[in-house]
Amino acid sequence: MKCSTEALLFVLTVVLLSLPAQCKSPTISGFVTDNKSRPLGGARVTIIGDKAKADTTTDSEGEFVVELAQGVEEGHAVQIRFEKVGYRTYQKWVSVSKIPLRVSLEAIANNSIRHASQPAIKKTESFSTLVPFHGEWKNSPIPMNLNLSDSHQEYYDSLLDLANRPDNQPQGWADYKDRKFESVDAQFTFVTRLIQFDVFRTVYFLERGVVAGIRWTAGGGVTPINRPPIEPPDATVYPTAELLKILSHNEFVKPADEMLWKGKSLSVPLGTRLSFQEHSNPEKGQVLTCTVRLEKSGYFLLDFDVQPGPAMNNQLPAGFSTQAIQGTTTYSVSIAMSYVIQRRRDHGFEPEQYAAWADSIFSGLKARMGFEPSPATSQEFWDSVAPGVVKTDACGTTNSTISNNIYRNGAVPEQLSSLCRSQFSNNLLLGSDSKKLTISGQDNTITP
């Protein structure tokens, strides 16, 4: 019995001692130097695909360690990339091993970078979209469009899917914050962030394309969908683990999105970094701007800026149909693309291809989300504006001057002054016998 007990303890000890080794993720380590064998610190090391938990950079001695993802084992082949400004990017397939890698990066000769004397390719374009929003419905603020033949139906369905959620946090939803739409600023912020995420997700789908797809509409039958993918130049996959980390606190990300990106990763130009940014300065009259940025330092910068615009109470976009007209505010949101692409030719970089890719993405966004104004539409819009409704971005810009807006039928909501803490000037008041309109001490020219 004593021998059996000792043998059992021995077996348990061996098992327990072996568990950490079995659970520990494998790693790839090594050294990065220049072509003169000097250590290179600050070089970015990336495992292509979802094969690593995160990227890393070399330390001052040129050393690095990359922890690989679960399921990657010793002997498996992975693709690894090394990048540093001023050096040629190096990428190769390696076998996962405990033996440290030794990599030498080649410095870029001065005559191989020809962009210094040539101006960068720059461009800025924008369009506006409309977002119907019902602030009293916290978990379903986007009404359903009952007009299935609406040319923007796919866009509205996307907003509905992104913004609407169950009343209680479902299992697997990492971020589920209480929504508060009591203030107008909170509504503007929500809508702007919603469009920011929809822009990103649309870019993802535009790059994927659709082959032999179909759309079924009740009462309308089946419509074939064929959209060629807009493939980025120097395409590579963006690490899904890093993407999910960037979006870890984004309330619009759902488990289905994670499954989507793990099944088909986001495609970007080699060396591109993705970021989601926000900035505003109410004291200087700068409204909230939410940005989706794609950037490769020293090569190109591509921004999609989203800003709130005018809001129309109890109004719907043209063609949109819902029974919940009362309480629905339609927000106008501006989407601007801007890029700066350097004219350099190292690493096979072709700036014209990057410009064509960005332009194609913008055209796809505009075709799906954009609303083109026309004289007929404009007249129809103004005829439908109810008394007292303000066409203004007043409450999207606090502590600022509100100008060039229109009030109808002499009904001016006085509470706007205190609510928005803004100065009103150069506004038009339609349908009034008054000659002057004064709000917050500023005179506003009117038209009877």
Greater pLDDT, 358 or 377: 358
Residue 92: name the closest of 84, 65, 101, 100 by CA. 101
DSSP 233-262: TTEEEPPHHHHHHHTTT-TT--HHHHHHHH
Mean pLDDT of 435-445: 40
Q: Which residues of 188-207 are buried (b: 16+ CB within 10 A; e: fewer)?
A: bbbbbbbbbbbbbbbbbbbb
Return d(Cα 438, Cα 150) in angstroms, integer.
41
Greater pLDDT, 41 or 376: 41
Q: Where do runs of H (alpha helix) occur along 73-229? A: 153-163, 184-208
Choose the most confident range, by mean pLDDT, from 48-62, 198-212, 258-272, 393-407: 258-272
Instruction: Tell me what pLDDT residue 4 has.
Output: 47
DSSP 60: T
pTM, 2 dp: 0.62
Could you report the per-residue pLDDT of 117-132, keeping only the tens digit for each?
A: 589 999 999 999 999 9
Residue 185: name the closest of 287, 268, 277 by CA. 287
Instruction: Tell me what pLDDT residue 73 has.
Output: 87
Q: Write down the mean pLDDT value for the chain.
A: 76
Instruction: Tell me what pLDDT residue 266 has.
Output: 92
Greater pLDDT, 447 or 201: 201
Inform me whether the pLDDT recorded for 307 exceeds 80. Answer: yes
Fold (topology level) of 25-107: Immunoglobulin-like (2.60.40)
Return d(Cα 333, Cα 317) in angstroms, integer.
12
Q: Cβ(112)–Cβ(325) under 8 Å?
A: no
Could you report the per-residue pLDDT of 86-143, keeping only the tens digit for each?
A: 788 888 888 898 899 999 998 876 544 444 458 999 999 999 999 999 988 889 999 9
Q: Cβ(285)–Cβ(397) under 8 Å?
A: yes
- Domain ranges across the chain: 25-107, 121-375, 385-445
Instruction: Tell me what pLDDT residue 258 has.
Output: 86
Inform me whether the pLDDT recorded for 165 exceeds 70. Answer: yes
Residue 93: name the closest of 51, 152, 139 by CA. 51
Instruction: Tell me what pLDDT residue 225 has.
Output: 65
Instruction: Tell me what pLDDT residue 3 has.
Output: 46
Strand partners, 442: 439
Band of the pLDDT at 49, cuts 50, 70, 90?
A: confident
pLDDT > 70 in the chain, percent: 70
Inform me whether the pLDDT recorded for 247 exceeds 70. Answer: yes
Could you report the per-residue pLDDT of 403-438, keeping only the tens digit for each?
A: 444 444 344 444 343 334 344 444 444 444 443 334
Token readout for 330 is 């339609």
Q: Cβ(117)–Cβ(138) under 8 Å?
A: no
